[in-house]
Amino acid sequence: MSTEPAATAPLSVEGLTTSILVGTTWYDAVRDISFHVRPKETLALVGESGCGKSLTALSVMGLLPPAAVRVTSGRIVVDGVDMTAADEPTREAMRGDRIGMIFQEPMTSLNPVLPIGFQVGEALMRHRGFTRRQARERARELLELVRVPAAAERLDAYPHQFSGGMRQRVMIALALACGPRVLIADEPTTALDVTIQAQVLALMADLQEKEGLALLLITHNLGVVASVADRVMVMYGGDVVESGPVHAFFARPTHPYSEALLAAMPRIEGDLPLQPIPGQVPSLTEMPVGCRFQTRCPIRDERCAVLPPMTTVAGDPDHRVRCWARVEA
């Protein structure tokens, strides 16, 4: 893991709040979150569906529909460029160039009527001024880099002619085409069988090491987190409730939600029953005031009506938690 200072990290997010319009009212769906990702480092963003993980990624990419979703405060700095202060042409120039994203489902992210070779090479024509011939040759090299068999022959194939694992490799090639410094991977192993999952994760780790990428990995698969992440950030209801090194998170989960996530994770050893988290994430319009996990928390008390600050866990300055009860522990 790189020791590059947070101030010069390729991706730095400070106090990000993103709001969604419901009816005539704006609701904070992501609240005051801050993080950074250094070169060759993997930060895993975890939590249940609806906790704000993908919305955070789309905020960083600047892909929010402005009529209904907006960044209301904070800064997002990508490779030295403040994306929140930049105009749309600047953000367009950054996307696909200095920052890339692997979306959740490649079949819906790839254009079904365009050949794979053109889709991978399009970013090179847009950002690097390549000719069509040059872009096609580089697309072949990128497909070989991500280990697509018979890459040259498959340039003219269409997405439906690839398996799920191969489509995911194409998405990785597309995201890496212009040599970005930051890569966001939103559930990159969703719907893949475990063998292909392992291959895709190994491929991403190998490319990350070679290219020096800062990787923001979004997932709810804690097994993947344990395998590839350097640091973990746990989100619930749009808030960061715990963050720290991956070893500290698994050895000493401190927030009740983190404990509940780990207790619900299937294990191969023993006959331990799964412990599901009771209830579900409240809708955005019904979020409780203060700590948003309080309606499902087994140790809640009257203090939870006020949102606790992020506080350092005793004995580990890099491990932080947002919980009144656990701050005193």
Going residue by residue through the chain, which has 329 residues, state the pLDDT in tens, using 9 for 90 and above: 444 555 579 999 999 999 999 999 999 999 999 999 999 999 999 999 889 999 999 999 999 998 999 999 999 999 999 999 999 999 999 999 999 999 877 778 899 999 999 999 999 999 999 999 999 999 999 999 888 999 999 999 999 999 888 898 899 899 889 989 999 999 887 767 788 778 888 888 888 888 889 999 999 889 889 989 999 999 999 999 999 999 999 999 999 999 999 988 877 666 667 788 999 999 999 999 999 999 999 999 999 999 999 999 987 899 999 999 987 54
User: Which alpha helices (DSSP H) does the chain contain, by range?
Assistant: 53-61, 88-94, 106-109, 116-128, 132-145, 151-154, 164-176, 194-211, 222-228, 246-251, 256-263, 324-328
Give CA–CA dist 186/189, Å, rounded: 9
Task: Give the CB-side neighbour count of residue 23, counting CA atoms within 13 A.
Answer: 4
Q: Which residues contact 261 (CB under 8 A, 6 or more apart)?
A: 46, 47, 48, 222, 234, 253, 277
Collapsed DSSP state (helix, strand, coil) of residue 41: coil
**Neighbour count for residue 280 (Cβ, 10 Å):** 11
End-to-end Cα, the chain, rounded Å: 30
pLDDT at 193: 77
Helix, strand, coil percent values for the chain (each to nearest 5) = 40, 25, 40
- Give residues with Cβ within 8 angstroms of 270, minimum separation 6: none
What is the torsional sign of CA 281, 283, 284, 290?
A: negative
- Give the pairing of strands 182-186 and 214-218: parallel
Encoded tokens for 141: 């090299």
The per-residue DSSP string of 251-281 comes to H---SHHHHHHHHTS--SSTTPPP-PPSS-P
Looking at residue 191, what is its pLDDT? 65
User: Which amino acid is present at 171?
Assistant: M
Give the HSE-up count for residue 113: Cα atoms under 13 Å, Cβ half-sphere.
0
Q: What is the pLDDT of residue 209?
A: 87
- Structure tokens, 323: 């919980």
The predicted structure's pLDDT at residue 1: 46
> What's the length of the chain?
329
- One-letter amino acid identity for 260? A
How far is Cα 272 from Cα 286, in angstroms, rounded to an integer? 34
Torsion angle (degrees, nearest 10) of CA 17, 3, 46, 270: -160
State phi, psi for 231 to the nearest 5 degrees: -135, 160
Q: Using CA atoms, how far apart are residues 316 and 98, in angstroms rounded to an integer?
A: 33
Residues near 314 by Cβ (< 8 Å), separated by ≥ 6? none
Q: How far apart are CA 8 and CA 39, in angstroms?
A: 10
**In angstroms, how far is CA 156 from the centroid of its own chain?**
30
What pLDDT was estimated at residue 270? 61
- The first and second tokens of residue 8, run together, are 């010069």
pLDDT of residue 67: 93
